């Protein structure tokens, strides 16, 4: 159980692919212009990561060490191609928006990194869980980034949701006459918001460390006193 919790904590926070390891930034910065775009790419990434970890891990007995990288890439590329064709067929509008960034999941270092570092050495169930958790770590970061950029940039959330659920529509959060703040939607906004998010994570970690130190100091002081 604690192993599962460890994997989840690593994926979501400690070794978070984006905030901790700064991996996969290209698609992250390019696609996080709105929540819908961001989360869609994130879900595709979760699928690819979970499936590739599962497949690699179940077949790891048959994959010779020398040619593991080509085979990993083959598996990841095949899965991405499947996602790519499926989205093109069933979610065409969204597919046109995400464009090149779906195929680019193949070269997203997070995927190969997890397959190589975890799935190649661990049982299938754990590996799939690790892949999914790493993907979820990617999704919440890219989703939050997309939400902040969309909210500041155009005052809405979930614009473009009709590409997935035809009956739904965007939520206007800020007043309708909000003039918008274009920079947030343009690439500089992605860097600004991501920078602030990384700073926020470091600050939280710093505070947590301070607390632990304070507790230890207290404990040792109590031990001395007692």
Partner 1 sequence: MINNSPYFRQPASVRGVMLKVLAALLPGLAAYVWFFGAAILVQLALCSAAALAGEWAMLAIRKKPVWLFLSDGSAVVTAWLVALTFPPIAPWWLGIMATLFAIVVVKHLYGGLGQNPFNPAMAAYCLMIVAYPQIMSQWPAVGFTDFSTQLTAIFGPDRHLDAITMATPLDALRTQLHTADARATVAGILGSHATFGNIGGKGWEWVALGYLIGGVWLVRQRIITWHIPTAFLATLAAIATIASLANPAVFAGPVFQAFTGGAMLCAFFIATDPVSGATTPRGKLIFAAGIALLTWIIRTFGAYPDGIAFATLLMNLCVPLIDMHTQPPVFGHKKDEEEDKKGP
Partner 2 sequence: MSETESPSAEKVASAMMAPLSESSVARISVRTAVILLVFTMAFTALMAGVYQLTQPILEKSALDAKRRTITEVLPPDTYDNDLLADAATLPPVKALGRDAPTTIYRARKDGKPVALVFEAAALDGYSGRIDLILAVSADGRMVAQRVTLHKETPGLGDYIDPKKDKNKQQPWIKQFDNLGFDTVLGGKWRVKKDGGIIDQRAGATISARAVTNASGRAVLWIHDHSARLFDLPNGSQWKETSP
| Footprint of partner 2 (CB under 8 A) | 62-67, 70-71, 74-75, 78, 81-82, 85-86, 88-90, 92, 180, 182, 185-186
- Residue 165 CB-half CA count within 13 A: 9
Shortest approach of partner 2 to residue 169 CB, angstroms?
13
**Shortest approach of partner 1 to residue 4 CB, angstroms?**
39
How many CA atoms are closer than 13 Å to the CA of 56, on its beta-carbon side? 38
Measured from the CB atom, the residue of 70 and 125 that comes closer to partner 2 is: 70
166 binds, among partner 2, partner 1, none (CB under 5 to 8 A by kind): none
Distance CA 13, CA 27 (A): 20
Q: Find the angle CA(160)-CA(165)-CA(169) to the nearest 5 degrees.
A: 50
Q: Phi-psi region for residue 64, left (φ > 0), alpha (ψ -120 to 50) or beta?
A: beta
CB of 183 to partner 1, least distance (A): 4
> 75 is in the binding site of which of partner 2, partner 1, none (Cβ under 5 to 8 A by kind)?
partner 2
Per partner kind, with CB cut-offs from 5 to 8 A, the member of partner 1, partner 2, none near residue 188 is partner 1
Q: Give yes or no for residue 188 binding partner 1 (CB under 8 A).
A: yes
User: Whose Cβ is closer to partner 2: residue 104's or residue 144's?
Assistant: 104
Q: Which does 90 bind (CB under 5 to 8 A by kind): partner 2, partner 1, none?
A: partner 2
How far apart are CB 179 and partner 2 at their closest, in Å? 9
Give the interface segment with partner 1, choosing from 111-119, 127-135, 162-170, 182-190 (CB under 8 A).
182-190
Smallest separation (angstroms) from partner 2 to the CB of 96: 8
d(CA 142, CA 144): 6
What are residue 156's DSSP bridge partners?
Answer: 172
DSSP assignment of 54-85 = HHHHHTGGGS-GGGHHHHHHHHHHHHHHHHHH
Give CA angle at 136 (206, 75), nearest 5°. 125
d(CA 87, CA 37): 13
Binding site for partner 1 (CB under 8 A): 179, 181-183, 186, 188
């Amino acid at each position: 159980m604690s192993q599962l919790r460890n994997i989840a904590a690593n994926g979501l926070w400690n070794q978070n692919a984006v905030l901790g390891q700064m991996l996969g930034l290209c698609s992250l910065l390019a696609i996080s212009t709105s929540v819908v775009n961001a989360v869609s790419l994130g879900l595709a990434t979760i699928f690819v990561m979970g499936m590739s970890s599962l497949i690699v891990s179940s077949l790891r007995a048959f994959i010779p060490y020398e040619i593991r990288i080509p085979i990993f890439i083959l598996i990841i590329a095949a899965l991405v191609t499947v996602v790519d064709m499926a989205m093109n067929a069933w979610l065409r509008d969204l597919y046109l928006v995400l464009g090149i960034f779906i195929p680019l999941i193949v070269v997203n270092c997070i995927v190969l990194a997890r397959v190589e570092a975890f799935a190649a050495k661990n049982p299938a169930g754990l590996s799939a869980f690790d892949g999914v958790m790493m993907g979820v770590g990617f999704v919440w970061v890219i989703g939050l980034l997309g939400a902040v950029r969309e909210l500041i940039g155009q005052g809405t959330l979930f614009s473009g949701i009709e590409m997935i659920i035809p009956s739904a529509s965007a939520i206007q959060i800020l007043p309708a006459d909000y003039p918008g703040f274009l920079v947030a939607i343009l690439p500089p906004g992605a860097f600004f918001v991501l920078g602030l998010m990384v700073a926020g994570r470091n600050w939280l970690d710093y505070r947590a460390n301070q607390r632990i130190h304070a507790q230890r100091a207290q404990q040792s002081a109590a031990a001395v006193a007692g």
